[in-house]
Structure 1
Amino acid sequence: MSWDRFVVLHTRVEADLAKALQRGHGLGLSEYRALGELAQVSGGELRMQELAEALGLNQSSVTRLVARLEQAGLTRRALCEGDRRGVYSVITDAGRVRLAEAIPTYERSLDLALEQAGDDPLLSPLVAAVRGS
């Protein structure tokens, strides 16, 4: 039963985050998370497989995701110097700017979504646990 409640909480929060990011910044939630992962690593680049693992996506999903980010100019692909078969996704300056603009929206939307979910007596213990209170 607790797992089912967690799934409900997760689904509600993710839907709110996705709407806010799409409406405010033209980013899907996975796109936002990909930019965040890339921005955190040295050189702003990850192998496609590393990015897939970090996001919990399969290879074909991350390939489509990166293609959308590239088309928007937020990332670019680079070949691995030592292994020409290896392909990296690299965050661009425009990607860093879009991420920086989207972070406050994400954080506000997360706070609001958790606040609203906390009003549900079945979810409030989970919200408290997530917030660490």
Structure 2
Amino acid sequence: MAAKTEARLEERWREILTVHARTLGEIDRALHPYGLGASDFEVLDLLATATPRDGEQCRVQNLVGRLHLSQSALSRLIARLEKDGLVERSLCLEDRRGVYVRLTGKGRALHGEVLPLQRAALARTLGE
């Protein structure tokens, strides 16, 4: 009985990985003409939908837990988005180790342009 349960879990896990890979590939293909990948979009989307309290900004550290990237990979991705003029980084004055990140006008506009493409890719791969 335990072997059957284990085999079902293993099969379900592989199904999840297959859907994940297929979905990322679909998003990457849809966003490639805009110079974005799935992870790039996720950062833009989180920043676009984040609603920090008045006067607060989004800390990079807060994004790490919401994305499936290491701290260093996220830092490199944000540096690339900043180089492309899509986000701005600033240091936290209270904690010099902290870094804030926010969308620029260009980043917000690009996010709005590609959002329907990303959502359509999700619908194609995850829709009922």
**How many Å separate the matches in 2 of 1:84 and 1:105?**
38
| 2:39 pairs with 1:27 | no
From 44, 57, 66, the equivalent of 2:78 is: 66
Q: How many residues are matched?
A: 115
Pick closer, same or farther for the CA change 1:56–1:45 going to 2, 3 Å. farther
Amino acid across the alignment from 2:21 = T
Distance of 1:54 and 1:35 partners within structure 2: 12
Cα offset, 1:109, TM superposition: 1.7
Structure 2 residue runs without a partner (length 5+): 1-10
Q: Which residue of structure 1 lines up, in the alignment, with residue 6 of structure 2? A: none
Tell me the alpha carbon deviations over residues 5-31 of structure 1, each in whole angstroms, 9 at most, x when there is no partner: 1211221111111111112x2111111
Match of 1:2 among 3, 12, 15: 12
Render the CA deviation track for 1:96-126: whole Å, top value 9, x for unaligned.
10100011111112222346xxxxxxxxxxx
Task: Pick the structure with more helix per residue.
Answer: 1
2:88 aligned residue: 76
Corresponding residue number in structure 2 for 1:41: 50
Greater Rg, structure 1 or structure 2?
2
Displacement of 1:73 in angstroms is 0.3
Residues 61 and 98, structure 2, Cα contact 8 Å, conserved in 1 = no
Question: How far apart, in 2, do the equivalents of 1:114 and 1:105 lie?
Answer: 14
Match of 1:107 among 103, 113, 119: 119
Percent identity over paired residues: 37
Q: Deviations over 1:76-96 (max 9, x none)?
A: 111113223311111111111
- In structure 2, how many angstroms separate the alpha carbons of the residues matched to 1:4 and 1:88? 37
Backbone CA RMSD of aligned residues: 1.7
Secondary structure at 2:100 match in 1: strand
In the TM superposition, residue 58 of structure 1 has moved relative to its aligned partner by 1.0
User: TM-score of the superposition, structure 2-length normalised?
Assistant: 0.81
**Which deviates more from structure 2 when the two are superposed, residues 105-114 or residues 26-35?**
105-114
Q: Does 1:18 align with 2:16?
A: no
Q: Distance in 1 between matches of 2:19 and 2:74?
A: 25
